Amino acid sequence: MKNFKDNLNITELKPGSWRSMLGYAGQEIALGRLLSCGFNVARSLWRDGKYDGALDVDNVLIKIEIKSSTRTNYPVSSGGRGGRQIRQEVKSGKESREEILKKDDADFLVGVSLLDGSCCVVPIEVVSICKRKSLPIKSLEIYREKFKIFLGFKNYGITTEDIKYGFSHKSISQLEKIIKKLKITRSNLKKKDNFNYPKENIMKTIRNNIKTDYKDSLILDIWSFLYRSIK
């Protein structure tokens, strides 16, 4: 597919209007991609709602937050304003209300590249564990075009409902049972609570280490295994 870059803002809209329009464009692309997969989708009509839309998978409603970009990163924070306003607040000493997306906000992030229409489908609990307000698109390769994640994994006994709710609510012993059942190799063999999670397993080119406790390392191990199982 030809890169869209040559046709961005050919009408020469003012920067503020164009940025706003890009947000709407990303939302429509994401919902259209989900529709093309065969999912019934809905959009949130409240601009300040915690999530942007939802998809129905066998009567399980999965909430999605849509982030779009014409650059190399996806912003993954909520509660903030536009970049210029945030920078002005920082300069004036005011505290930004930006927070990293969390499970209370949505179930999944759908990152849309406005350069080629490709999508990255990332569990919000992975975003939350990794503690980044911005994610390099090139670090999300294992999530690229992985819409099948919403279908669950019948061969592993992982349902769509399991995919929606994720694994953070489970106890360590429950997570260890899943790890054992699926024959997943644990990354944190010594069960450290100040563990440098191997970036190549979950976000290959992200800067700096991903610090986790033992439980979060198990959660990342499970998600990494599931995504790499998608053909």
Q: Any idea where the domains of the chain sit in the sequence?
A: 4-229
Q: Report the pLDDT value the prediction gives residue 2, as an integer from 0 to 100.
A: 60
Indicate the helix (H) or strand (E) that contains 221: helix 214-229
For a pLDDT cut of 70, what percent of the chain falls above it?
91
Q: Determine the pLDDT at residue 81.
A: 43
At 93 the pLDDT is 52
Evaluate if residue 150 carries a pLDDT over 90.
yes
The structural architecture, per CATH, of the domain 4-229 is 3-Layer(aba) Sandwich (3.40)
Please return the burial class of 68, using the count of CB atoms within 10 Å of its CB with bins 0-12, 13-18 and 19+.
Answer: buried
Q: Indicate if the pLDDT at residue 87 is higher than 80.
A: no
Confidence grade of residue 177 (pLDDT, cut at 50, 70, 90)? very high
Q: Using 50, 70 and 90 to split pLDDT, how confident is the model at 51?
A: very high
H-helix segments, 11-123:
15-37, 83-92
CA distance 41 to 63: 10
pTM for this entry? 0.89
For 129-147, what is the mean pLDDT? 94
